[in-house]
Structure 1
Amino acid sequence: MAGTDWQGDLLRQLRGGDGEPAPEPVVPSSVSAGQPAAAPSEPADRANSAATPSESAAPAKPAAPAAEPIPAPAPTLPAPSPIPVPPVDPHLLPAHRRSRPGDSVLRRTRRSLRQLLLSSASRDVAEATRIAQALQQPVTTGRQIAVTSIRGGAGKTTVAALLNLTYAHYRQDPVLVLEADPALGTLPIRLAAPAVRWTCSDLAQVINPSMQFAEVTGYLVQVAEGGWLLPGSQGRVGTRLELPSYRAVMMALRRYFGITVVDCETLPNPLARTALAASHARVLVAPATMEGVASTRAVLEWMADVPRPRLLPGTVVALTMSSPDMTLDTGAASAYLGQAGIRVVTIPYDRHLAAGGPIRTAALGHETRMAAGHLGAELLNLALGKPR
């Protein structure tokens, strides 16, 4: 057994054949007997690639994926500009005849004779001067005056238009009338607007506090006889004005205009109640009829029960006469409504107003102009917090 090469036989069996025995490893002469041989050296490129033992031992980390570029936000596109729409269909315009002056020839003649023969002329001048001084009072911040009624057809829009024309005539600061009654509102017709483009809802989407006055007025309609108009709709059925849009527009516009007249919807609409609560003075328009006065008295009692804000102290009732044949005693009706502690101003029958269509200040009757001045002065005093 001593001469048997069992190691070689084992290697050949492992290789699966009877080939030549593997040569014995050559031991370098520099290594003395009994010392282990040196480990074979690694290739140069592999050795150079390992900087430190720790780096060579650690597994290679996958490369971090390149950061994807963050897409730039899409530019905010400006709101599309609405197409101007005439407030009245041009095919209907030929049906409207030129309205007559508010006072008849006989009434104008009587008034002229009375001024010549009596001392009423000086009283009229003094009254007109007092009204003008009240209407020209300076305001430090924008004042809001809301006009509403208990039902349609009471003359609410006509009163709002009269107030706008009155303030614009007497005041130097800008005056705005805003239509918060978008359901087929007629304010653009009464103020002879050439076209309706931007509405209150449209303006709420684009207005911001950084706008200058010239930018803001670019979205409004300039009234020929003075003041600015913001319509509520373009005359389409079903148009709505939501409370957030109304609040946004009113908060933004109040710093540009000394006085803003708001033509509200009829009570008890939520938007009308919001406008009444946010305004500095209020007009409750009532027709000069038994039904109108009775319903208005009920609304005044409701307003007296509202705890905050107190609505009744800043309210004026405008009693409108839409026909020359009305038989209501306006003096007795005013006393009845005045029991609630409010002021009543009667807007007399005026042929020019009753005919509908655009209102021309020069065509209004003398008593109508005086009544509009009384109403405007009373409201401005209330808006400025002055006692009655």
Structure 2
Amino acid sequence: MTTGDGDWQRDLVRELTDVPQSGGGASHSADPGAQSEPRSEVRPEVRSKASASPQTRDPRTPAPAASSPAPAPESLPTIDPRLAIALGRPQHGDSTARRAGAGLRRLTASAGREVAEQTRYAEELQQPVTTGRVVAVTSIRGGVGKSTVSALLGRTLNHYRQDPVLTLEADAALGTLPVRMGAESVRWSAGDLARILTPAMQLTDVTGYLVPVADGGWLLPAGQGRVGAPLDVATYRAVTLALRRYFAVTVVDCETLPGEVARTAMDTAHARVVVAPMTAEGVHGTRQVLDWLASLPHSALASTVVALSAATPDATLDTKAAAAHLREPGVTVVALPYDRHLAQGGPIHTAKLARDTRDAAVRLAAEVMRRAVRVR
């Protein structure tokens, strides 16, 4: 994949692979396990204080108390071990009979048309970017699949792109993104990182505070799964603005609307995804959100995609009629079908997703990247 002017992605990849020679400064390890023990040398302000020339002190003045760095947060499991055993084995999104039938249909379908469509989506997903793109995902209420869609986007983008992808949680209401992304434990939060980030840090320094995702990419949780201080707008702005220089794409799992952080994220992102539940009231409420986006100082509809998510196999709402109603303001709608694997909860295993779900996730990610790259 070619890169844009400045070739910033190649510079970041070089940070991950190049190790400075002895005597040339501190070395930076690309070991993902470093997130549990971040190094103190990544804080330049500490080095500058230590290397400064000693000042003359009046002996009558009491010596200042030695300052100690703030203790590192404790690493906590994303799921209580006593509850994790209740998840059982992950189900496949398609039944055995459906998988067999899909295989037969693929044999009789037009292979050339399918390959052409996959190639087109891959080209959209692999578009080079000259600055980091931010994609905000939100919904009108919780429990409609917002974190699931964020996780699907993060995994899909990481699969197709060669450069670093970050999935960031900006939902303080005990969000489920770390669980959906397969993180076994979390330690550093967005608020912790906001106090640590400095312009001198390299990508390998930053990833020491992130959670490496099993299928690739990185995760930054909003908290440790405990009730605490909510993520505020200032912290969100500080983290996203600082991390854009390290990651080609950042997928933000926002709080629900009309939360202040969600409104800020939707107003400042390069592309937006509104997750709509496939219910009459869910579609109606999402349409109101679309009307609000159209009223922003700079209309956000052109860079918005609606993910119409089915949470039950027994939904009676007509999908085509619901999608047509949401398209009226001028947005693209991608339907995410019911999937047994996603409905089971717990970590998302890409290989267990139904084929229709994988195809919908790829199309959704391609539509999002097309809009994110178009914004300058």
TM tier, smaller: 0.7 to 0.9
**Which one has more relative contact order, counting CA pairs under 8 Å at least 6 apart?**
2
What CA distance in whole angstroms lies between the structure 2 residues aligned with 1:241 and 1:319? 27
Q: Which of 70, 74, 85 is the matching residue for 1:79?
A: 70
CA distance in 2, matches of 1:72, 1:372: 61
Change (3 A) 1:124 1:75: farther
Q: Deviations over 1:253-303 (max 9, x none)?
A: 110000000000000001100111110000000000111111111111121
2:188 to 189, 198, 217: 198
The separation in 2 between residues aligned to 1:166 and 1:295, in whole angstroms, is 28
Q: Does 1:384 align with 2:373?
A: yes
Structure of greater Rg: 1
In 1, the alpha carbon distance for the partners of 2:112 and 2:63 equals: 73
CA distance in 2, matches of 1:92, 1:110: 35
Q: Residue 160 of structure 1: which of 150, 153, 170 is its match?
A: 150
Rounded to whole Å, the distance in 1 between the matches of 2:146 and 2:68 is: 38
* 1:112 correspondence with 2:103: yes
Q: How many residues get paired?
A: 320
Q: Quick one: which of 350, 353, 365 aligns to 2:342? A: 353
The question of whether the paired residues in 1 share the 8 Å contact of 2:138 and 2:253 is answered with yes
1:72/1:378 Cα in 2 relative to 1: closer, same or farther (>3 Å)?
farther
1:73/1:372 Cα in 2 relative to 1: closer, same or farther (>3 Å)? farther
> What residue number does 1:275 align with?
265
Instruction: Specify which of 130, 138, 143 is matched with residue 148 of structure 1.
Output: 138
The aligned counterpart of 1:305 is 295
Structure 2 contact 272–304 (Cα < 8 Å) conserved: yes
Unaligned runs of 5+ in 1: 1-65
Q: CA deviation at 1:68?
A: 6.7
User: Cα deviations across residues 83-129 of structure 1 (Å, max 9, x unaligned)?
Assistant: 1000000111111111211111111111111122x233332222112
Q: Who is 2:84 aligned against? A: 93
2:220 paired with 1:230: yes
Contact 1:203 1:219 in 2 (8 A): yes
Alignment map for 1:160-179 (pairs within 5 Å): 160-179=150-169
Tell whether 2:310 aligns with 1:321: yes
Counterpart selection for 1:331 from 300, 320, 344 = 320
**Residue number in structure 2 paired with 1:60:** none
Shift of 1:76: 5.4
Alpha-carbon distance between aligned partners in 2 of 1:386 and 1:143, rounded to the nearest angstrom: 9
Question: Percent identity at matched positions?
Answer: 58
Structure 2 CA distance for partners of 1:77 and 1:309, relative to 1, 3 Å: farther
AA at the equivalent of 2:213: V
Q: Is the 8 A contact 1:233 1:239 kept in 2?
A: no
What letter matches 2:174 in structure 1? L
**Deviations for 1:210-240, whole angstroms, at most 9, x for unmatched residues?**
1011110000000001110000111112431
Deviations 1:167-209 (A, max 9, x none): 0101110000000002111111111102110000111111111
Q: Name the SS for the 1:144 alignment partner.
A: strand
* Code of the aligned partner of 1:303: L
Q: 2:178 aligns with which of 184, 188, 199?
A: 188
Q: Which runs of 5+ in 2 are unaligned?
A: 1-56
Partner of 2:251: 261
Q: Give 3-state SS (helix, strand or coil) of 1:91's partner.
A: helix
Cα 1:319–1:115 change in 2 (3 A) is same
Q: 1:115 to 1:84 in 2, by over 3 A?
A: same
Quick one: distance in 2 between partners of 1:123 and 1:74?
72
Q: Which amino acid aligns with 1:263?
A: D
Give yes or no for contact 2:79–2:184 (8 Å, CA) kept in 1. Answer: no
The answer to whether the Cα contact below 8 Å between 1:314 and 1:383 also exists between their aligned partners in 2 is: yes
Q: Is the 8 A contact 1:139 1:258 kept in 2?
A: yes
Which of 101, 122, 128 lines up with 1:132 in the alignment?
122
Answer yes or no: is the 8 Å Cα contact 1:318–1:345 preserved in 2. Answer: yes
User: Alignment partner of 2:69: what SS?
Assistant: coil
Residues 72/215 of structure 1: CA separation in 2 closer, same or farther (3 Å cut): farther
TM-score (structure 2 length as normaliser): 0.82
Contact 2:304 2:331 (C-alpha < 8 Å) held by counterparts: yes
Aligned-residue Cα RMSD (Å) equals 1.8
In the alignment, the residues of structure 2 paired with residue 215 and residue 384 of structure 1 have an alpha-carbon distance, to the nearest angstrom, of 27
Are 1:367 and 2:356 counterparts? yes
